[in-house]
Chains A and B, each alone.
Chain A
């Protein structure tokens, strides 16, 4: 049994213009100790999918319109408030993009970690355990740093504190939502290194949400690519980067400048990501697709397993571009 199993999830938001479907029929699973990266551009529904796992989206305006989410075999959508409180933190913990905004500015960081411990592991809510957690995330002089206020720490250090708080309840799944997007590349490398070490040492599952395909291979065993609310391709990370099959994944990879590959024009994707309130008919990528066929605008293709472990939402994936 998978640790996390999402089946056919659809999430809608009420807006002035009526309901908008941000996530349409997303299915994915994560095994114990596995890393999955959910990749896509802004507005593709990756964060909404991630927040739905612990039911963190405010309702209203959001609404889970369809589907099923199971953690450890238990149906999250059927849980009451007390059950949800038990799984939040203890089973699934989150690390977000802006550590500065997630930390309480007037509370010492050690105390914030202690709070997380009191909630989930009251018997271990001691300064020693706080220092142990701060050391575990690679912060030098943890005895001193745990007494700092958030503003005394740099962005990279704040993110380490957020990871320490997430680890406090010994979660089985860590959802990292753009954990390095606000950080510099040298600090990003440090945080990715830390997360992959923790994943390995604690045998923790990781769901990495990112727009940056370049960082997925550090943490992810598999990658799911989202576009306009749907998963368009799922594959083992190395396969996806080496040989993407969906035209969107291919274009995305080709449009990223690669160090060392100078010269010529980049293969930009024409147009822009469609608004969720005005989605194109048929395949949602067809207006921007270089390999468009007549049928593409008529029916939305299904996500099909075309090779073992590789799923593609494009019937023309074989006509390689």
Chain B
């Protein structure tokens, strides 16, 4: 298999990662089937960069994020962090890496301990990694972190239930920031928030990246949100990456028919753009019995015989534009639009 799009010494490198979960077929049968949640994903992420990971529910994007954070075990493949193979490290072996690899979650209600105060929640992260051992320094750091995420420093003795959803997500971000991470895996961090609050959290994440140079793996189902934050976007379907390129190319010149349909289905406020919607027939197939060949072929308007038998590999169609499709769409970037040059890591949108 061809190797991933890789640039020298990435912060995170994932090679041919597979995560399969066993499911018991019947009550008495021993034969087990497997959910192919992540099925051969390769990607890399530079320090300070944001990679957006989009796909519909069940496509494996959250499992991929959890596998990288080593919250679930990989079935095969390699995860390298700062060049070190962390794929099969145990709990104690992972500890030095955990400091640099943090995660924030979708549900700001479920991911904070309701019996701990804000100071205890953030302080626990500091204690585990022995970062602020004197109580004065610890106090100072907690205040600093709360201010950094836009919370009132006086709120540290309050409990999670006293905060709104957006404020709770800020507490989760402060907890993750406490240990100076290099990579933050954001698993649908704004999906549970009110629309008017989502933008606050997006802006906060953008500011923190500029300030601290943290790399984000930003997982979401909403392409518009991902595009706003990400330099590059990977589109997943049924455990595989279908297309991976610059955010602008994914949105404006997708080469994969699935990406094109996904974009056309986005809710839009623009009356002119809704008529070109592509309605995909059918639904996402079961990851227990993925279709043969290209996993997207049963719903693809362009599918032909080859797609039903032969699985397309992720290949580089144009520089930095990777696509897993036998019959990719024509590149539709207009010649008057200059191709986007790669901005320096850490900068948003050039």
Contact = CB atoms under 8 A, between A and B. Distances in A.
A107 B206 CA distance: 49
A269 B196 contact: yes
A265 B206 contact: yes
Given A185-B265, A214-B267, A273-B194, A263 B349 contact: yes
Given A42-B194, A156-B283, A218-B274, A272 B164 contact: yes
Interface centre among B195, B222, B264, B277, by most chain A C-beta atoms within 10 angstroms, is: B195
B208 interface: no
Contacts of B203: 265-266, 268
B261 A186 contact: yes
Given A255-B198, A260-B252, A268-B196, A189 B279 contact: yes
B199 A255 contact: yes
Nearest to A213: B269
Contacts of B164: 272
Nearest to A263: B349
A266 B199 contact: yes
Nearest to A254: B199
B271 A41 contact: no
A262 B349 contact: yes
A184 B56 CA distance: 6
A241 B269 contact: yes
A51 to B, nearest CB: 20
A141 to B, nearest CB: 12
A187 interface: yes
B227 A262 contact: yes
B271 A238 contact: yes
**Most chain B CB inside 10 Å of its own CB: which residue of A188, A264, A266:** A266
B94 to A, nearest CB: 33
A252 interface: yes
Given A241-B271, A259-B263, A260-B251, A186 B196 contact: no
A187 B283 CA distance: 7
A217 B274 CA distance: 9
- Top-4 shortest CB links A-B: A214-B267, A268-B199, A255-B199, A184-B56
21 contacts: A185-B56, A186-B56, A186-B280, A189-B264, A212-B195, A213-B267, A217-B271, A218-B274, A255-B196, A257-B224, A260-B251, A260-B252, A262-B247, A263-B349, A264-B349, A265-B206, A268-B197, A268-B200, A269-B196, A270-B200, A272-B194
Interface of A: 41-42, 154, 156-157, 184-190, 193, 211-215, 217-218, 238, 241-242, 251-253, 255-260, 262-270, 272-273, 288
